[in-house]
Every structure is written in structure tokens, then in C-alpha cells.
């Protein structure tokens, strides 16, 4: 991973060292628990719906407080986006570093394999992207991470094979980074739709995968479409990391 931060290289070295780990077996997929020292885990008393810290019994997420969040439960693979996790995600998202993308795919696959709730879903799919969202990158990082994880998860998990995808992004959105929380919720409205007409979603339990959950607006809009247009009974989120927001 030439040019990547030292912390990212250390995680890559940890992955290589776990090829003979009893938990991870051959090292692919790798359980995030094996890299616990480099992660910032979500505390047990965090909000189960959005995985945000709770302060004095109150969730710090605007989406939760105002009832906007349509996701039922959020599962976080690597904990909060800080330290090594943040460096790894920056390497994957901003630099499209293939080593970082591969490592995230292995960690995502390991999390799903070792999470007891993962097999309860009828469909697992990623947040889709619009072609204009590539912004000069050779690949879309989240899709590349998802496809890397899919290699280790098939055929044991009901993954969307993306041909055609259950969910599509129908219009490009301006980068959400730096936008105020209410503005993020407005920006994603109407950005997603079903990829094709199907009854397969009716009554289904769906898990939507994203790389980082910041406000939850993107995941919530995906959940709204899957529930209102597709008839899904339950939509949960699986994210690599949760952006930590200051408690109120």
C-alpha cells in the first residue's frame, strides 16, 4: 500500500499475520475482533437504531430525535471513524488505494460471517452510486469493498448480485461532506429508486451496507424506498464505521 499512512500499513500487516488465526482460519475473511486493538468500538449503551452515543438518555442523532431515520438497527463492523479506522477509510475512499479496499472487503466479510444476526436477512445489498459520483476514481470504493466481501460470502448469504441491482441511485448528489445535518437529509430525498419491479422485496428483511454512517440520511432514504416502493418489512444497516458526533 505505497503512500498509505503508517497505521493503514500496520492493519495490513495484521491481516497478513492472521492467515493462521483459528478464528479467521485462512485469513479471509478476517474477523474485526482480531484487530480490536486498532478499532474504536461502539459502546454497548449506544443508540441501537443509529449507533450514536447517548447523552443523559438522549440520542445525539437528529434523525432519531425527529423520527426521520427509517433504519431499524445499525450494525457497525469497525466502530467509530477515528484513528486507524479513519485512516483506512480515507485511503479507500479518497485515494482508491486497492490495498485498503481489499482489507475493508475482508473485514466486512469477517464481520458478517461472525455476526449472529447476519443470516436472518433475506437480502443484503450496498448503497448504490451514480456514475457521476466516481469523480475520476477508477472504481467506486463501497461497491469494490462489497464485491470483495461477496467473494467470501457466497453462497451462504443472500447477496444482491447487482445484475440488475435491487436499488439504484437515480440522480447525482453534491458531496455531503461538510454539509449541516438538516441539509444532508434534504439532499438525499428522491435520490434512490428500485432498480426493477419485483415482488421479491415484499415482506423481506433487508440489510443495506454502507461505508460510513454520518447522519444516517443516505441509509434512511434507501430504507424508505425499499419499504415504501418495495414492500420490505424490515430494513437494517451494516456499516463499516460510524462517524462520532459530539453529544448534546
Predicted local confidence at residue 177, as pLDDT: 75
**CA 195, chain centre distance (Å):** 20
Percent of the chain past pLDDT 70, that is, above it, reads 88
* Cα(158)–Cα(149) distance, integer angstroms: 13
- Inter-residue contact 27 to 20 (CB < 8 Å): yes
Instruction: State the alpha helices, DSSP H only, in 140-201.
Output: 141-153, 181-188
* Cα(188)–Cα(167) distance, integer angstroms: 14
Predicted local confidence at residue 248, as pLDDT: 42
Predicted local confidence at residue 58, as pLDDT: 84
**pLDDT (tens digit, 9 = 90+) per residue, 107-154?**
999 999 999 999 999 999 999 999 888 877 888 999 999 999 999 898
| pLDDT band, residue 3 (cuts 50/70/90) | very low
Amino acid at each position: 500500500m505505497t503512500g498509505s499512512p503508517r497505521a493503514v500499513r500496520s492493519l495490513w500487516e495484521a491481516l497478513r499475520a492472521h492467515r493462521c488465526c483459528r478464528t479467521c482460519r485462512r485469513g479471509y475473511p478476517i474477523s474485526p475482533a482480531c484487530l480490536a486493538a486498532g478499532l474504536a468500538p461502539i459502546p454497548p449503551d449506544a443508540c441501537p437504531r443509529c449507533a450514536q452515543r447517548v447523552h443523559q438518555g438522549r440520542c445525539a442523532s437528529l434523525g432519531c430525535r425527529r423520527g426521520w431515520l427509517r433504519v431499524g438497527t445499525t450494525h457497525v463492523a469497525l466502530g467509530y471513524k477515528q484513528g486507524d479506522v479513519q485512516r483506512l477509510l480515507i485511503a479507500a475512499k479518497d485515494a482508491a488505494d486497492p490495498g485498503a479496499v481489499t482489507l475493508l472487503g475482508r473485514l466486512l466479510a469477517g464481520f458478517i460471517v461472525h455476526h449472529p444476526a447476519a443470516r436472518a436477512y433475506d437480502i443484503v445489498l450496498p448503497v448504490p452510486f451514480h456514475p457521476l459520483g466516481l469523480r475520476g476514481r477508477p472504481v467506486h470504493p463501497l461497491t469494490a469493498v462489497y464485491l470483495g466481501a461477496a467473494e467470501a460470502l457466497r453462497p451462504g448469504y443472500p447477496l444482491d448480485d447487482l445484475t440488475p441491482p435491487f436499488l439504484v441511485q437515480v440522480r447525482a448528489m453534491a458531496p455531503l461532506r461538510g454539509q449541516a445535518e438538516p441539509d444532508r437529509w434534504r439532499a438525499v430525498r428522491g435520490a434512490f429508486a428500485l432498480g426493477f419491479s419485483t415482488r421479491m422485496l415484499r415482506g423481506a428483511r433487508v440489510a443495506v451496507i454502507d461505508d460510513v454512517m454520518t447522519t444516517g440520511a443516505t441509509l434512511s432514504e434507501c430504507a424508505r424506498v425499499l419499504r415504501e416502493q418495495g414492500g420490505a418489512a424490515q430494513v437494517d444497516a451494516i456499516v463499516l464505521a460510524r462517524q462520532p458526533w459530539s453529544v448534546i
